[in-house]
Amino acid sequence: MSFTDPLRSVPDFDAGDAEWLHLLVGDWQMVADLGVGDLLLCFPRGVVPGPQSPTGRPIPAEGGDFLVLAHARPTTGATAFQKDMVGEIVADDAAQALRRAWIDQRIEQAGASEWESLAPRSVLLVPLVRNGRTIAVLTLTTESHHDRLPSRMELVYRQSASDLLRMANEGTWPDFAVRIDSRRGAPRVGDGLIRLDTDGVVEFCSPNGLSTFRRLGLHGDITGQNLVRAARQLPLNAPGVDETLAPVLAGTMPWRAELSAVKASATLRAIPLRRGGERTGALILCRDVTELRRRDLQLVSKDATIREIHHRVKNNLQTVSALLRLQSRRMNSPEGRNGLQQAMRRVSSIARVHESLSHEISEDVDFDDLIRHQVQLAVETASAGQHVRTAVHGHFGRLPSKSATSVALVVNELVANAVEHGLKDRSGTVELSVRHLEDEVSDSGTTYVVLEIAIEDDGRGMGDTVIEESGVSAYRPPSEGEGLGMQIVRTLVASELRGVIRWQPREPQGTSVVITARFPQPHTGRG
Based on the fold, state whether residues 118 and 234 are members of the same structural domain: no
What's the pLDDT score for residue 135? 92
CATH of the domain at 142: 3.30.450.280
For residues 113-118, average pLDDT: 60
d(Cα 463, Cα 418) in Å, to the nearest integer? 14
For residue 301, name the pLDDT band (cuts at 50, 70, 90): low
pLDDT at position 526 is 43
- pLDDT at 80 (0 to 100): 87
Among candidate residues 232, 519, 505, the one with its CA nearest the CA of residue 399: 519
Residue 154 shares a structural domain with residue 200: no
What is the DSSP code (8-state) at residue 201? B
Q: Is the pLDDT of residue 164 over 90?
A: yes
Alpha carbon distance 196, 273 (integer Å): 9
155 shares a domain with 31? yes
- φ/ψ of 511, rounded to 5, equals -130, 145
Say whether both 152 and 22 belong to one domain.
yes
* Least confident range of 163-177, 416-430, 473-487: 473-487
Does 389 share its domain with 521? yes
Average pLDDT over residues 340-354: 73
In this structure, the answer to whether residues 16 and 110 fall within a common structural domain is yes
* Average pLDDT rounded to a whole number, residues 104-128: 79
pLDDT mean over 114-128: 75
Does any domain span residue 182?
A: no
Q: Which position has the higher pLDDT, 324 or 219?
A: 219
DSSP 8-state assignment for residue 421: I
CATH number at residue 249: 3.30.450.20
Neighbours of 510 (CB within 10 A): 21
Residue of 283 and 48 predicted with greater confidence: 283
Count other Cβ atoms within 10 Å, centred on residue 490. 21
pLDDT of residue 241: 46
More confident position, 119 or 226: 226
Provide the pLDDT for residue 508: 81
The residues near 355 (Cβ < 8 Å, ≥ 6 apart) are 310, 311, 314
Pairing, β 428-436 against β 388-393? parallel
- Please say if the pLDDT value at position 527 is more than 80: no
Q: From CA 80, how far away is CA 73, in angstroms rounded?
A: 8
3-state secondary structure of 103: helix
Does residue 163 belong to any structural domain of this protein?
A: yes
The answer, yes or no, to whether residue 130 has pLDDT greater than 80, is: yes
The count of structural domains within the chain is 3
Q: Where does a domain end: 218, 253, 288?
A: 288
pLDDT tens digits for 490-525? 888 888 888 888 888 888 888 999 999 888 876 554
* 313 belongs to a structural domain: no
DSSP assigned state of 460: S
Are 16 and 150 in a shared domain?
yes
Domain ranges, residue 198: 189-288
270 inside domain: yes
In 61-206, where does DSSP find H-type helix? 92-104, 152-170
Instruction: Compare 66 and 330 and report the one with higher pLDDT.
Output: 66
Contacts of 380 (CB under 8 A, 6+ apart): none
- The secondary element (H helix, E strand) that includes residue 395 is none
Residues 458-495: tens digit of each pLDDT: 888 877 777 777 666 666 666 666 677 788 888 888 88
Domain boundary among 288, 313, 331: 288
Residue 329 lies in a domain: no
Domain boundary residue, one of 259, 288, 317: 288
* Dihedral-angle region of residue 293 (phi above 0 means left; psi in -120 to 50 means alpha; beta otherwise): alpha
What is the pLDDT, as a whole number, of residue 11? 79
Judgement on whether residues 83 and 9 belong to the same structural domain of the protein: yes
Q: Which runs of consecutive H residues, i.e. helices, occur in 358-471? A: 367-382, 401-417
Query: Rounded distance, CA 420 to CA 438, Å?
Result: 34
Residue 484 lies in a domain: yes
Q: What is the dihedral of CA 209, 211, 216, 221, to 10 degrees?
A: 80
- 517 three-state secondary structure: strand
- Integer Cα distance of 110 and 130 in angstroms: 22
Lowest mean pLDDT among 112-121, 181-190, 337-346: 112-121
Separation of alpha carbons 162 and 109, rounded Å: 12
What pLDDT, on the 0 to 100 scale, is given for residue 128?
A: 95
